[in-house]
Amino acid sequence: MKLYRPVTVLVGLLFVMLGGLTRLAEPEQVYDDSNRVVVKGTIGEELDFSGTTVTVHRMKFARAYLTGDRDEKAVTTNGIYVALEYSTVRGTQDPPNPSAELITDDNTIYAPIGETWGGRIDLAEPGFAIDGAVVFEVNPDDVKGLTLRVRSTPFFTVLTQDVSVDLGVPDDKVARQLMDQATPEYLIPRGVKRVAS
Amino acid sequence: MESLDDVIDAMIADRVIHRHRRKWLIALALVVVLAVVIFFTGGWKEKQGRRVDTLDAPVTIEAGRFEVGISKAIIWRTPKTEYSEAKSRLAVEVQLKNIDEEDRTSTRFDSDLLRWVIPGKDPIKAENVTCKEVIGYILVYGLPAESCVVEFKVSPNFSTDQVEIGVLAERYTADSGLLGASEKPYWHNEQAKAVVRVPTTIETEIEK
C-alpha cells in the first residue's frame, strides 16, 4: 500500500490551511481570549457567573487593614487599600474557581492581598451564600476606571463566563474624593456562610 | 571438501579486511593519543566559578520584574529554653519593588529568586519572603519599594561575618509556538543576575 499518495498530502495541506484560516477569523482581542463571555455590571447588581451569582455591595478605601487576629498590628501601605464587600450565591453548576483582580484604564492589574481572609472571592456549597470582603492594595495615582474582574480558569479551552464590575471611578477627581473619605483602619470581615434566600 | 566458491569467498574476505587496515590503525592510534593528551592536561572538568558579577551590599539590582535592594543580614539566635531546642535563622533584609512595565501586575516575590551561594556547594533556596510580617506579600506595580526579610535555615551554632546572596532574574519571553504553546510572552525562565556580598551580624532573640 502506498502511504503517501498525492491526495493524502493534499488533504494534509488543506488541514494546515484551514488552521490558518481559523486564526485569521479570530478577532483582534487584546485583553481577553475569544472563548470568554464577560458579564458586565455595576455595584449592587447581581451578576451571573456560570450559574453562581456575584454581587459587589460596596467599595471602601482604607489606609490600613486588620485581619482580626489577636495582638496584631494594622498592616499599613504606601498606597491605599480598596476593600470590596461582596456576596456570592453558589448555583448547582460546577463553579469555575474564581480569581479576582482589579484593572484600571492604564491596564494596571492589582491582585488581592496575601491573607487568608480578604485574599479571594469565596464560594460556598450549592444553595449557600457567602458574605465577605476582598481587599486589594492599589497605587492611588492609578485608579481611573477601576474595574473588578472575576475570572475563571477552566482546565480545557471551553466557553467561559467572566464577571466585570465597574466600580464607578470615572476620573481622578472622584478617586481623590473617595480617598479623602478613606477609613484609617479596615477590619477584614471573615466570610459568613448562610442559606441563600 | 572445500569448494572453489568457498576459497574465493575466503580470499575476498581477506582482501576486504586488509584493504582498510592502515586507516583503522591510524584512527585507533589517534583515539589513544587524544585520551592520553586529555588525561595529562587535567581531563574534562566541569566549569567552575561565577559568570555573574559579585557586588558588595548595600546595592540595588534590577532583576526581571523586580528591583531588589540588599542591605544587610542578621543571624538570629534563639537560645535553648527548658521547653525548646536552640535554633537560629539567617534573615537577609531586602527592599523589593515591582517594576513590571510589561504586565503592570501585582505579584508576590517568589522566594526561589534569591539563593544563598556557598562556594563548592549547591545554592540554598530561601525559606520564605516576609514583608510587613506577611508571608507571600503581594507587591504592587507603581508603589515604592517595600522593606522585606528573606529567611534561610541555618544550624543552631552557625556563624559567619559575610554571606553571599545570589539574585536571579526572570525574563519576559514566550514559549515556542512550534510546540503548540501560546506565543504570548510572560515572566519565567529565571537566570542568575548577580551575587551580593552581605556583611552579617549575629544577634540573640528570646522566644516569645
- The ipTM value here is 0.75
Q: Which three cell numbers stand for residue B16?
A: 576486504
B106 and A109 within 8 Å at the Cβ level: the answer is: yes
A110 and B106 within 8 Å at the Cβ level: the answer is: yes
Pick the CATH number of A33-195 from 2.30.22.10, 3.20.20.140, 2.60.40.1240, 3.40.50.720: 2.60.40.1240
Q: Write out pLDDT tens, residues B150-170.
A: 999 999 888 898 999 999 999
Phi then psi dihedrals of residue B100, to 5 deg: -80, 80
Other C-beta atoms lying within 10 Å of the C-beta of residue B157: 8
B138 and A78 within 8 Å at the Cβ level: the answer is: no
Q: Which residues pair with B112 in a beta bridge?
A: none
DSSP state of A183: B
B53-204, what's its fold?
Answer: Immunoglobulin-like (2.60.40)
Q: Which residues pair with A150 in a beta bridge?
A: A100, A163
**Residue in A75, A113, A139 nearest the CB of B143:** A139
Domain positions in chain B are 4-40, 53-204
Shortest CA gap B145–chain A (Å): 9
Euclidean distance between CA atoms B40 and A76, whole angstroms = 65
Q: Which three cell numbers stand for residue B195?
A: 551575587
Residues of B whose CB is below 8 A from A112: 138
Phi then psi dihedrals of residue A81, to 5 deg: -100, 145
Q: What is the pLDDT along chain A (197 residues), one digit of tens a residue?
A: 677 788 888 999 999 888 878 777 665 544 456 677 888 999 999 998 888 899 999 999 999 999 887 677 888 898 999 999 999 999 888 766 788 999 999 889 999 998 888 888 988 888 899 999 999 999 999 889 999 999 887 766 677 888 999 998 888 899 899 899 999 999 999 888 999 87
B8: part of which helix (H) or strand (E)? helix B4-19
Domain positions in chain A are 33-195
B143 at A interface, C-beta within 8 A: yes
B170 at A interface, C-beta within 8 A: no
